[in-house]
Homo-oligomer: A and B are copies of this chain.
Amino acid sequence: MPSTAFDFAPLLPAGLPAPAAKWTGLAKYSFVGGNNDPDQVPVEGLIEAVDAVLRREGRTLATYGLASGPQGYRPLREFLTAKLKRDAGIDCAADDILIVSGSLQALDLVNATLLSRGDTVIVERDSYQGALNRLTRLGVNMVGIPLDQHGMRMDALAAALADLKGRGITPKYIYTIPTVQNPTGTILPEARRAELLKLSQAYGVPIFEDDCYADLIWDGKRPPAIYAMANNGGVIHIGSFSKSIAPALRVGFIVAPWALMSRMLALKTDAGSGALEQMVLSEYCAPHFSTHVPKLTRGLRAKLDTLMEALNEQFGTSAEFETPSGGIFLWVKLPDNVDTLKLYQSALAAGVAINPGPEWSTDKPYAGSRLRLCFASPSHEQIREGVAVLAEVCRREFGVPARIANVEARARTSI
């Protein structure tokens, strides 16, 4: 390094997030990150698909947007219109869909179209960290609505809307993950969806429906999307292929009325999302999606069972949870004296990565003894071993769970 090394510090604007730490690899037992099961990536099918689509249309890679325009690869949008009709009851045309680089870009585009610093939005009290972090960075006020085993509570939502109205505040949207809620795993029943739509209409607040996990339901049954039930065009619907096919393929989508779509397109200045990934997904999904997903969810359900068994064995009654209706995560309550932000640090040092509850909630005290465990990526064996290590760390730091359960489990998992 020369002694006159250039100093960027004086040039950095105020308000930047803290610098990232150097990446040091994945934890040995990783229960974070929304990753999926490596054994369930349909590798052979993707190879066949990419071969076919490149042979037929590879030359179009020379053109931004594949001559499909800024809304994304048209055959993928056409697959989605059929899929959304079949699975979610959504009637939409290919031109109502915008393909994006993962649902995170969907969040960014919706936020950029609707939000200013100081605005207010309504979210589920416990919600997706990626959504909450974005709102925090944007300087937007979040009003968190509690959930029960059937998702967002409509009585609490009605009260919050009335309260905000009384204070002269119109929230910019109601963000909900109604179908396999993140992190609680609940599904909002059809009757509550209807109530939600009534409240949305009554208060002039649009609904932002994040259906990213909706494909992964154990019994395959789901209520219609809120978008499908609306008759006033006041719902923005987003989804993703990250959970159903593979997260490293960065492909998601937005279904929205043109009044918003035209605004989001003006803000999507990335010259299109990755074309090859869109082509491969379209080619693979059109024939295979509806057989692939049930196979995937059977495997995920088996991993969930392993996780719940391991928690029961290692933590006994110290770990409380409801069986989720689908998805890739479990929302767990530990005894009140456990601080999961501290547990996160100690567990990571022991090779176990978890999501501490406060990062997934607008109510930090409520979520302080809660954590999210993702179960799709680790093997059954890693799930059992990882939960055993987590219990050991938790006992050492917080005195729970009781020793006896853990000793039994260690003997078993070390065989």
Contacts and interface: CB of A to CB of B under 8 A. Distances in A.
B233 A249 contact: no
24 contacts: A4-B232, A6-B201, A10-B204, A11-B173, A11-B206, A13-B114, A16-B267, A17-B263, A17-B266, A20-B70, A20-B266, A22-B95, A38-B59, A43-B54, A43-B59, A47-B51, A50-B51, A63-B248, A64-B247, A64-B248, A66-B248, A134-B269, A248-B274, A249-B275
Interface string A25-46: 1100000011111111101001
Given A9-B259, A37-B62, A248-B63, A274 B277 contact: yes
How big is the A interface, by class?
Answer: 35 or more
Interface of A: 1-2, 4-14, 16-23, 25-26, 33-41, 43, 46-47, 50-51, 54-55, 58-67, 69-71, 95, 101-102, 104-105, 113-116, 119, 130, 133-134, 170, 172-173, 201, 204, 206, 231-234, 246-251, 257, 259-260, 262-263, 265-267, 269-277, 280, 376-377
A33 B70 CA distance: 12
A58 B43 CA distance: 6
A270 B67 contact: no
Given A60-B248, A116-B13, A263-B16, A231 B35 contact: no
Contacts of A22: 95, 262
A70 B19 contact: no
Contacts of A64: 33-35, 247-248
Given A133-B269, A247-B271, A250-B275, A12 B62 contact: no
Contacts of A14: 116
Contact of A104 (B23, B130, B269): B269
Contacts of A63: 26, 33, 35-36, 38, 247-248, 377
B232 A6 contact: yes
A311 to B, nearest CB: 23
Given A114-B11, A233-B6, A263-B16, A246 B54 contact: no
How many copies of the chain does the oligomer comprise? Answer: 2
Given A63-B248, A271-B102, A262 B20 contact: yes
A10 to B, nearest CB: 8
A82 B37 CA distance: 33
Which of A36, A61, A134 has the most chain B CB atoms inside 10 A of its CB? A61
Given A101-B274, A206-B6, A130 B260 contact: no
A282 B75 CA distance: 27
Nearest to A115: B13
Given A63-B248, A206-B6, A206-B8, A262 B38 contact: no
Nearest to A6: B234
